[in-house]
Chains A and B, each alone.
Chain A
């Protein structure tokens, strides 16, 4: 079945460490997104990408980096510069064709905690 796979499901980060969250989709979607979800707050956009080798900062990009070397893959690196990384991270994708009503499809998320 087509879908979005995020891994790992749980991740722990030590002080000063960079960690990478994986996101793979086999839906042939053009656009991919990374969101962060904290209790009592809505999903906040970190980075998004429309095509391979192109990506844009979202609302809270500081302390994060991404790459889009393949259409299917959009990994997110949480760097040591992100001082409050504990959150639930969600990857999403959508088809850019077919009109404005295309919903975003989400992966199951990665829960990141600080050790």
Chain B
């Protein structure tokens, strides 16, 4: 089966750095995605990791350790607009359909 764990909620201060963790146990591994979802809106793609290491995209970075089944999303210089849910999603299989399994999401609240 597939199991993805994320903290349910986090709070951080504007201007600070926050790290959102994701651990996974899946029957295979073919990549991990992070999405951002504002309340009542569609998820939007943030990052993709398939090899170990850090991927940086502006204020957002994502890290993967395949041997540990672990990833984190790092948000720097937090802004109020970063208040959203952050979804970790794992693609267990290679091949067609590109199916992914989503975690429950981490609701981040940025406070002044």
Contacts and interface: CB of A to CB of B under 8 A. Distances in A.
Interface stretch (A14-22, A39-47, A65-73): A39-47
Interface of A: 31, 33, 35, 40-45, 48, 50, 56, 88, 90, 94, 96, 100-109, 111
A13 to B, nearest CB: 19
Interface residues of B, number: 28
Given A96-B96, A96-B98, A100-B98, A107 B104 contact: no
A44 B99 CA distance: 11
B45 to A, nearest CB: 4
A42 B105 contact: yes
A90 B43 contact: yes
Contacts of B101: 42
A106 B97 contact: no
B97 A50 contact: yes
